[in-house]
Structure 1
Amino acid sequence: MAKGMTKNTIGQTALAVSELGFGGASVGNLYKAISDEQAQQTIQAAIAAGITLFDTAPHYGLGLSERRIGDALRALPAQDYVLSTKVGRVLTADPTAKVDEIRYGFATPMPFDAHYDYSYDGIMRSYFDSLQRIGVAKIDVLLVHDLGAITHKEQDAFYYEQFCQSGYKAIDELRQQGLVSAVGLGVNETAICERVMEIGQFDCFLLAGRYSLLEQEALTSFLPKCAAHGASIILGGPYNSGILATGVNTSHTPLYNYAPAPEAIVQRVAKIETICRQFEVTLAAAALQFPLAHPCVASVIPGLGSAAIVAQTTTLLEQTIPAEFWQTLHQHGLLDPLAPVPMEGG
């Protein structure tokens, strides 16, 4: 395993994770099928690069991601990696599953269906089922998946109450018994994270986007609350669905929040790209490194769909970005004045 990648502590726990993490959606056949061989090559490349945080979920390929990540990590000493998975959905066998079609966004051969369950019993079942699928004796980080209004809309109040009255007790018991080392949420919004901080102690939040080179609204409320609560951020989606990886000078329609980027976002990224060219900085490198400057952010998890992308991403993480680049973004109003920025060579 490669050495030298910076590690950061999760909340007030003893867990230390690599600043670059591995998100398991791609090896769950997100949008398209990949072979077991390609999945294992990708995971092994991440291990060789010094990545120690591996995040998966029952939702990713209806169990396929958990199985593949377990196959890769099982042979390693447990202290060499931090394994994160999720609860909130229970998988059940479905003999009628159309495994030759994309289901829930995944081209998976796994003959299962999923239903939401944030109750005590549902979370306990999900946890122990994941142990079986992954083939390990312990999960390090347990995240409650997709709680909140963005996912559940008119059913938000029902599932939130289910979690408050029943489910939180389950994750807290698992933590107290030492069956997990950290608990949190894995979500796409900050509002639900702020809500749950009022019902118990959370060690981390895996947040897709919401704090990036493009958007820093989280600095005013969410991140200060995380600091006061003692919770770390594992940041997914540092490229905001792709626009901060591809830029806007491309023949393809730039994507932001899983949709074609609105004109205001396109113009903002164009201004950032101009400054990138001025300082010979790769846009994707700036997007990857920027969130890590905030003391609450322990790790970033971009999409790592192949061994080549793993290598490319570690290069972006190591790219030297001059302090003048960040200063210029501040001067042009392209970064929030409160946003901390990486130290040159740090």
Structure 2
Amino acid sequence: MQIRHWDRIGNGGLNFTELGFGAAPLGNLYKAISDEEAHQVLEAAWDGGCRYFDTAPLYGLGLSESRVGRFLKTKNRDDYILSTKGGRLLEVCPPEKRTGIGKFFNTPNRREVYDYSYDGVMRSFEASFERMGLDRIDILYVHDVDIFTHGSKEASDARIAEFMKGGYYAMLALRDQGVIKAFGGGINEWQVCQTLAERGDFDLFLLAGRYTLLEQEALDSFLPLCQKRGIGIALGGPYNSGILARGPSDDAQYNYSNAPKEVIEKVRKIHATCEKHGVRMIEAALNFPLLHPSVVSVIPGGQSVAEVKSNREILGKQIPSALWADLKAQGLMRQDAPV
């Protein structure tokens, strides 16, 4: 698998595989899987050449971190990159009060407590170490200081302010002391990523679903800023929650919910254009983000061995330039999108 070397501040940097593994599904997202099934999924990712693994305390309320850590203990620590996230602490609670009911299944009975303070981020980081049982975490992202998570711009701004007064300095200290190689944000909105980038010395952003075959508004200002500052982008959610992988059906998922009609209609046009050029839409969707110079890795999730193997098989698929030109001519892709 192709490697993309990234080194923004001259500390040796990190070698990202173009295909990473997003471990949210291993937290029993939308359905429960066994520890053995999770191990098989991770083994398939490793066998396919993936060496970048991303997880978070939220995913299965610690379950994903535990499963990822258990697997990676069997590997040479210098052979992979590992990222997790901070900003949430997990507290034991009664079953009926646990976080993620209806979203995460068969998880520990814990509830999330947002804490973006200096001490909160340090405690979260330490708890991640305990759950994973590993000696080193390479990247720490502040998790979900966005509108999608907190419900309004005012609430998001308050969380950003809390983080920039406290947790930011915890991450900065961890990086400058060499405990981690890099820090940044794992966020669903490029506008919030840009706000952080303008206020601090961030290295990387894990941007979920906001630079895809379906939407490229991040080209307005955020991605040019990243290019200027050498900030790397790990692109999560390249299928926009599934619609770019499974196609424009009436029950298609977009942004973790049922897709709006206008999104389904746009995807229907993209799908038809891909078919006209003999390209599967899922192939174009996975490979498109990697054409941007700031993207260091694309990290779709995978909850089955078949999904993981499918992603690996289509990585690097040569997409005819005529497809990109046709999408741009129809107004289905930004004219300034690198292709």
TM range (shorter): over 0.9
Alignment-derived partner of residue 93 in structure 1:
92
Q: 1:337 aligns with which of 331, 335, 338?
A: 335
User: Is the contact between residue 99 and residue 110 of structure 2 (CA under 8 Å) also seen in structure 1?
Assistant: no
User: Is the contact between residue 95 and residue 109 of structure 2 (CA under 8 Å) also seen in structure 1?
Assistant: yes
d(CA) in 2 for partners of 1:305, 1:157: 33
Q: Note closer, same or farther for the CA distance 1:25–1:289 as it changes in structure 2 (3 Å cut).
A: same
Q: 1:304 aligns with which of 298, 302, 305?
A: 302
Q: Which runs of 5+ in 2 are unaligned?
A: none
Any idea what the Cα deviations from partners look like across 1:142-189, whole Å, max 9, x if unmatched?
A: 000001333222433432221111111100000011111010000101
d(CA) in 1 for partners of 2:263, 2:92: 43
Q: Note closer, same or farther for the CA distance 1:97–1:289 as it changes in structure 2 (3 Å cut).
A: same
Alignment-derived partner of residue 43 in structure 1:
42
Q: CA deviation at 1:329?
A: 1.7
1:320 is paired with a residue of what secondary structure? Answer: coil
* Percent identity for Structure 1 against Structure 2: 47
1:216 maps onto 2:216 in alignment = yes
Any idea what the Cα deviations from partners look like across 1:219-254, whole Å, max 9, x if unmatched?
A: 111101111222111111111121111112x4x522
User: Is the contact between residue 64 and residue 108 of structure 1 (CA under 8 Å) also seen in structure 2?
Assistant: no
Q: CA deviation at 1:197?
A: 1.7
TM-score (normalizing by structure 1) = 0.92
1:196 is paired with a residue of what secondary structure? Answer: helix
Alignment-derived partner of residue 190 in structure 2:
190
Q: Note closer, same or farther for the CA distance 1:10–1:27 as it changes in structure 2 (3 Å cut).
A: farther
User: Is the contact between residue 237 and residue 302 of structure 1 (CA under 8 Å) also seen in structure 2?
Assistant: yes
Alignment-derived partner of residue 232 in structure 2:
232
2:95 is paired with a residue of what secondary structure? Answer: coil
User: Is the contact between residue 148 and residue 156 of structure 1 (CA under 8 Å) also seen in structure 2?
Assistant: yes
Alignment-derived partner of residue 273 in structure 1:
271
Alignment-derived partner of residue 3 in structure 2:
6
Alignment-derived partner of residue 344 in structure 1:
none
Structure 1 counterpart of 2:84, which letter? T
Any idea what the Cα deviations from partners look like across 1:273-304, whole Å, max 9, x if unmatched?
A: 22212221010000010011000111111121
d(CA) in 2 for partners of 1:265, 1:10: 37
User: Is the contact between residue 5 and residue 50 of structure 1 (CA under 8 Å) also seen in structure 2?
Assistant: no
Instruction: Report the number of matched residues.
Output: 335
Any idea what the Cα deviations from partners look like across 1:309-329, whole Å, max 9, x if unmatched?
A: 111111121333222222222
d(CA) in 2 for partners of 1:16, 1:112: 35
Structure 1 counterpart of 2:25, which letter? S
Greater alpha carbon shift after TM alignment, 320-329 vs 165-174: 320-329
Alignment-derived partner of residue 253 in structure 1:
251
**RMSD over aligned Cα atoms:** 1.9
Q: CA deviation at 1:139?
A: 0.5
Q: CA deviation at 1:99?
A: 9.5
Q: CA deviation at 1:135?
A: 0.4
Greater alpha carbon shift after TM alignment, 300-309 vs 64-73: 300-309
Q: CA deviation at 1:6?
A: 3.5
User: Is the contact between residue 251 and residue 258 of structure 2 (CA under 8 Å) also seen in structure 1?
Assistant: yes
2:128 is paired with a residue of what secondary structure? Answer: helix
* Runs of 4+, deviation exceeding 6 Å: none
1:163 maps onto 2:160 in alignment = no
Any idea what the Cα deviations from partners look like across 1:44-88, whole Å, max 9, x if unmatched?
A: 110110001100001011111000000110121111110000000
1:80 maps onto 2:74 in alignment = no
Q: 1:26-175 residue pairs with structure 2 within 5 A?
A: 26-94=25-93, 96-98=94-96, 103=101, 105-152=103-150, 153=152, 154-175=154-175
Structure 2 counterpart of 1:290, which letter? F
Q: Which runs of 5+ in 1 are unaligned?
A: 342-346
